[in-house]
Amino acid sequence: MKKLNVKSKKQGGFVLTAELVLIVTILVLGSIVGMVTMRDSLTAEMEDVAEAVGALDQGYVFDGLANPQLTAATAG
């Protein structure tokens, strides 16, 4: 039976831990960047909707009605 070196066994676990920390760090940073991008996009879209609603013209003008003989009329 062959004996394993205790020092190499400890280093093997360290390599896996370092890789896991690196992967988790990249995923967390990517998630943060993605959420910031989504926040900015949503804010821009809401600004566009607010400008569109503000640009609606709700003015209404009614000039009145009159029959062809001009015997009856309604003012606007």
Between 37 and 16, the higher pLDDT residue = 37
Q: Where are the beta strands (DSSP E) in the chain?
A: 64-66, 73-75
**Mean predicted confidence (pLDDT) in 6-29:** 78
- Residue 49 pLDDT greater than 70, yes or no: yes
* Mean local confidence (pLDDT), 19-23: 92
Q: Which DSSP string corresponds to 39-60? A: HHHHHHHHHHHHHHHHT-----
More confident of the two residues 75 and 5: 75
- Taking only the tens place, the pLDDT of each residue in 51-76 is 999 999 888 777 788 888 877 877 76
Distance CA 64, CA 75 (A): 5
pTM: 0.54
Q: Are the beta carbons of 60 and 76 closer than 8 angstroms? A: no
